[in-house]
Amino acid sequence: MKPRTHIVAGALLFIIINTLIPASGLITGALLAGASAVTPDILDFLTGRHRGIGHSLLILPPLLLFAVKGPAYGIPLLAGITSHIIMDLFTVYGCPLLYPLKDTPYHCLRRKNRIRTGTAGEWALLSFLIVMVLAFSLLSAGALDGALREERVEKENLTDVKINLMLEARRDVNITVIRENGSEKIMVDYAGN
C-alpha cells in the first residue's frame, strides 16, 4: 500500500484506541501514529529487504513494553506500526508475520479479493479510512456529547414529577404551576387572614 493509506490507517487505529483508553492528546497521538505507520517500510529499506523484519510480529513485543512504560508516545507508535502490518495482510503480497523465523507471507483475503497498491481498491479503502478518522475524531473529541446530552434532557423532561406537599397552616394556600420555554416553576402563596 502507498504511504498515504498507511498514515491514515495508523491515525485511525490510534484514534479508536484513544477513544476507548485515553492515553495521549488526540492530535499529537494521531500525528505520531500516522508517522510511525511508515516505519516498517523504513526499517525494511535500511535492512535491504522489503517486507522483512519491519513487517514481522517480532517487532511488536518491545513496542508493547514501551507502550506500557510510556503510553503517551508508546501507544501511538504501537498503533501506527500495528496498523501497517494489518493493512499489508490485505495486499497481493501479504505480510511475513514470522520473519526471520519463517518467510511465508500471510494474507487475510482470497487471492482475487486482495488489494493491489495504487489501484481503485486502495483508493476506495483510503476514502473509507478518511471518513472513519473524521467520525472517530468527532467522537473522541466529544463533539457528539452535546447532541447526546440534548437527547437525554428531552427524555428527562418527559417524565412526570410528583410533589407531596403537606402544609400545616391556619391559612389558605394557593399553589400555581407556571410553564415557560420547557421549564416549570411552582409558586406557593399564603392567602392573608
Rounded mean pLDDT of 153-175? Answer: 59
pLDDT of amino acid 30? 94
Q: Give the pTM.
A: 0.71
> Element (H or E) spanning 173, and its range?
strand 173-180
Model confidence pLDDT, tens digit, residues 111-161 = 888 899 889 999 999 999 999 999 988 887 776 666 555 555 555 555 455
The residue among 147, 149, 128 whose CA lies nearest residue 138 is: 147
Q: Distance between CA 19 and CA 4 in Å, rounded?
A: 23
Rounded mean pLDDT of 44-62? Answer: 90
Among all chains, which residue has been given the C-alpha cell 447532541? 147
